[in-house]
Amino acid sequence: MKQIQATKVKRLCKTHNTITVNGMFPGPTLEIKNGDTLEVQVVNKARYNLTIHW
């Protein structure tokens, strides 16, 4: 299960919230072979609606 959430990230000496997937930005790499079946469950814990692109 993938969890979408705002995570505090420090970049260039500033801390701000970034939307992450399982705490990662960019999100994890999915390695799928031709013919495989994939089902992804996503829980949005972020404050706003969002769209996942593949």
**CA 4, CA 43: separation in Å to the nearest integer?**
6
**CA 26, CA 20: separation in Å to the nearest integer?**
7
Determine how many CB atoms are found less than 10 A away from the CB of residue 17: 12
Q: What is the pLDDT of residue 44?
A: 92
**What global pTM score does this model have?**
0.64
**CA 5, CA 45: separation in Å to the nearest integer?**
5
Q: What is the pLDDT of residue 33?
A: 95
| Mean pLDDT of each 10-residue bin along the chain, 54 residues long | 87 88 85 92 89 79
Q: What is the pLDDT of residue 15?
A: 92
